[in-house]
Amino acid sequence: MIDRYSLPEMAAVFSDTTRFGRYLEIELLATEAHAALGIVPADDAAACRSRAPVTDAAFVQAVSDREAITDHDVAAFVDVVQAAVGQPAGAWIHYGLTSSDIVDTAWCWALRDAADLLIEASSALLQTVIALARAHRDTVMIGRTHGIHAEPTTFGAKVALWALQIDRDRSRLRAAREAIAVCKLSGAVGTYSNIDPSVEAIVGERLGLTPVPATQVIARDRHAEYLWACAAVGTTMEMIAVELRHLQRTEVGEVQEGFKPGQKGSSAMPHKRNPISAETISGLSRVLRGNLQAGMQDVALWHERDISHSSVERIVLPDSSLMAYYVTRRMQRLLAGLQVFPDRMRSNLDAGLGLVFSQPVLLSLVQGGLARDEAYRIVQENAAKALSEKRSFRDLLEADPRVVVSSELLDQAFDLPRSVRHAAAVFDALDALDAQ
């Protein structure tokens, strides 16, 4: 992932020094577990721990240099560690293990930590969205279907629905965390042929990872589930971003992204204040969904294992983690600084000449005794006339002799508070969510 979309706390999870630090800790724990079983001399296990190299930039370079000879990254890592520990103790490093024991366990360790960051970010975003929804619980605006004015709603109800979806994403992240927080140290084809299963159990307990049955590799449906959770996060962020992009259009003007001092919206047009955060989020969401496709294709491997998944995962697992985290944090910043214009929302609603009340008018005519289709045609004709002639919908209805309903019924049909009286029902679900 390029630095532009990498936040430091998530980037640290996937750095080379962190990765090799995980490899080393798994190796040392396995050696110590073997010592506990009486297979490795206790003094040698202690020497491995005390003489273990620091996995800093110099170590990373040493492994890279060795890999140029071995053409195998884990073998190169083991060679460098063994050389640092020295003989005879160093010979016990990687005892009974295969490369995937180390790599897969390290991947799952990293993804569990990444999931924790994503869950934390989702929880913080959720609180921001809940606060925004409650602040605008009664802010009336036009609801749109197909991009066309439909009926009144509230901005708070709209945002509350975002919050409920973000919470579902958080549930998906928690499930993905559980699925990926596993390990395997069961050897070349997963049969424990050269390693006691208790070694896996000891290492798993020390790392907080659950041992699972496996071939040479941990089943990749777990990784695909994690990528799905990341893609779902991105898709929710895009859903919100697309809505904000529309509401920020000049012709709509109901919200606006925050604009800090010194910021420039355009290199050429000083008046511009573009929805750059929302547009960035939309773009990165596309990449997240693309990465999910690659992860799904990694599930089917030849026999007990091939490495067609390996090159893919080196890209998509860190990148999806970084992007999902980035868009979540970017959305939180966007919504925390969002400018909302209730007066503009009301102005846009009123600009509809009353057409947004066409359904309650239709129901009033039915209530007054007209057949539904007849009532529909009357309302439709007057609505079209109001739109084409820019006249009040209600005035036209009152002048139409076919509209034989009382003024009281029409008053109810055109009553805005009545129209949105149940819009806040979504807050019951939001209140229950917030209490969890």
Residue 288: pLDDT band (50, 70, 90) is: very high
Work out the number of other CB atoms within 10 angstroms of the CB of residue 53.
16
HSE-up (13 A, CA, CB side) for residue 117: 26
Q: State the Cα angle at 411 between 408 and 413, rounded to 5°.
A: 115
Contacts of residue 384, Cβ cutoff 8 Å, sequence gap at least 6: none
Query: Once rounded to an integer, what is the mean pLDDT over residues 174-201?
Result: 97
Q: Model pTM? A: 0.94
Please report, rounded to a whole number, the percentage of residues in the chain having pLDDT higher than 70: 99
DSSP letter for each residue of 199-220: HHHHHHHHHT-EE---SSS--T
Which residue among 146, 271, 303, 422 is the active-site one? Answer: 146
- Quick one: how far is CA 321 from the chain centroid? 9
Query: How much is the CA Rg of the chain, to the nearest whole Å?
Result: 30
Q: Can you give the pLDDT at residue 262? A: 85
In angstroms, rounded to a whole number, what is the distance separating the alpha carbons of residues 320 and 233? 10
The answer to whether 266 is a known catalytic residue is yes
Q: Can you give the pLDDT at residue 265? A: 84
**434 pLDDT higher than 70:** no
**435 pLDDT higher than 60:** no
Domains and their CATH numbers in the chain: 1-95 (1.10.275.10), 98-256+270-352 (1.20.200.10), 355-413 (1.10.40.30)
Helix (H) or strand (E) holding 287: helix 276-297
Identify the CA nearest to 331 among candidates 51, 105, 124. Answer: 124
Residue 433: pLDDT band (50, 70, 90) is: confident
Phi and psi, residue 15, nearest 5°: -70, 155
Query: Once rounded to an integer, what is the mean pLDDT over residues 259-263?
Result: 85
pLDDT tens, residue by residue, 100-146: 999 999 999 999 999 999 999 999 999 999 999 999 999 999 999 99
The answer to whether 146 is a known catalytic residue is yes
Q: Can you give the pLDDT at residue 137? A: 96
Q: Can you give the pLDDT at residue 270? A: 86
- Cα–Cα distances in Å, from 288 out to 166, 328, 329? 16, 13, 15
Which residue among 193, 266, 311, 406 is the active-site one? Answer: 266
The tokens 């109800």 sit on which residue? 157
